[in-house]
Amino acid sequence: MTELDTIPGDAPADLRRLRFDFGDLLDTIGTCVLIVDSDGRLAYLNPAASDLLDLRSADWLDRPILRELNRATPGLGCVIERTARTGLPIRRFETAPAEESGFVLGVSTALLKPREGALTPSVAAIFQDITEKVRAEGLRRRAERLEAVAELGASLAHEIKNPLTSIRSAVEQIVGVRAEPEDTRLLGALIVRESDRLSRLLGEFIDFGRVRVIDPRPVDFRAVVSEVVNLVRAHPDTRRDGVELAFDVPPRDVYVRGAEEVLHRGVFNLVLNAAQWAGRNGSVNVSLEDLKSDLLSPAFGAFQLIRLSVRDTGPGVQDDIRDRIFDPFFTRRSGGTGLGLALVQRAVEAHGGAIFVDNVRPSECTGAVFSVYLPTLPHAVSVRQPISTAVRDGGP
């Protein structure tokens, strides 16, 4: 007799079918499986799950189990409860490290048909110990961060060295020879121009390094995007090239949790970049769209998302540079610092989001499409709640 044979007679029909069809299989596989009924009681725990969680099925069968699951491995009970409450299965979730053992679980959940009269469905959780995988990933990320710091330092030194070389050469010519007044004026203008370039570069680098979100609050993202579109319309680069900007305004407010200043700065750099690449008399289309997706990690609770799309009529992004386009100091535009899109990516990731770039399909002319995905808050969030700001290092 398998452990599934002990399921109470009033358990869901799906579980009774499992008892006959899959009991032996579930008892012998190495993957951990547990089933919790609509009341949060344990309906099934296979041997692999029992061993990993150090829970005996006979001790917990038909008893409330969610709190004990959270004690054994933080987050496991919560993700099962959330699946039952929202009716949305979760395909990937990582628990927090357990206090005693330190192990981390990779979890997916599935809904089972609720029994008659039950308000919530039963939930099956399938999980594995991914502790070693998480540790290896942590070491890899640490190595990547160190490499990124080294590359960033080398790139910054290179970007500073070029204008300093020009400034030094100009000063040497002014001081070392009796230059004509016109030559002196030109050399002086070069010094001012290169000094301004250095100042702009260092200012943007400071902004890039200080993207942080402290005390996140509800932010009206539609209002942020609308203000940014108006600012970019009035930008000198946009007006000089005759670029038209269109914003498909959604019918209702959209709230995300975060810092208004950081979101504003990120969206501004993204839309301005599109306008600068749209070409003379080109156009930029900005739109917002609600969608449900598990694109972002369930750790952010991001089932309801907002997608910001920024589409331009420029030359598009070549395949060979697509992986580098968000790297600091990478730029194809004359006079650009290469920090704009890098700042955009940092701002998006600081809000638990993701950004992607694709080219417009050939049948729809040319251009690039940047897509930003952010987790949203319920529409019921009060608009009267204060808006957060980004707190910079060393700031108040």
> b/e for 261-296, b at 16 or more Cβ within 10 A?
bbbbbbbbbbbbbbbbbbbeebbbbbebeeeeeeeb
Q: Is the dihedral of CA 124, 128, 129, 132 positive or negative?
A: negative
Q: What is the pTM assigned to this prediction?
A: 0.59
Contact 42, 57 (CB under 8 A): yes
- Which pair of structure tokens corresponds to residue 114? 């609720």
The closest alpha carbon to 15, from 85, 110, 82, belongs to 110
pLDDT for 211-247, tens place per residue?
Answer: 677 778 899 999 999 999 999 999 999 999 999 999 9
Q: What is the pLDDT of residue 232?
A: 94
Q: What is the pLDDT of residue 146?
A: 67
Q: What is the pLDDT of residue 118?
A: 63
Please give the Cα distance from 348 to 152 (Å, whole number): 20
List, for the chain, all residue ranges whose pLDDT scores fall below the cut of 50.
Answer: 1-7, 9, 18, 20, 299-302, 380-396
Q: What is the pLDDT of residue 309?
A: 94
Using left for φ > 0, alpha for ψ between -120 and 50, and beta otherwise, residue 276 falls in alpha
Q: What is the pLDDT of residue 162?
A: 74
Q: In CATH, which of 3.30.930.10, 3.90.550.10, 1.10.287.130, 1.10.101.10 is domain 135-208?
A: 1.10.287.130
The closest alpha carbon to 355, from 326, 312, 313, belongs to 326
CATH 3.30.450.20 fits 3-129, yes or no: yes
* Superfamily covering domain 212-375: Histidine kinase-like ATPase, C-terminal domain (3.30.565.10)
Estimate the crossing angle of helix 131-176 against helix 181-209, to 10 degrees.
160
Instruction: Map out the domains of the chain as residue ranges.
Output: 3-129, 135-208, 212-375
Q: Is the dihedral of CA 144, 147, 153, 156 positive or negative?
A: negative
Helix (H), strand (E) at residue 359: strand 354-359
Beta bridge partners, 185, equal: none
Please give the Cα distance from 345 to 356 (Å, whole number): 9
Please give the Cα distance from 85 to 80 (Å, whole number): 9
Helix (H, G, I), strand (E, B) or coil at 298: helix
Q: What is the pLDDT of residue 272?
A: 93
Q: How remote is the C-alpha of 321 from its chain's centroid?
A: 21
Q: What is the pLDDT of residue 84?
A: 86
Using left for φ > 0, alpha for ψ between -120 and 50, and beta otherwise, residue 40 falls in left
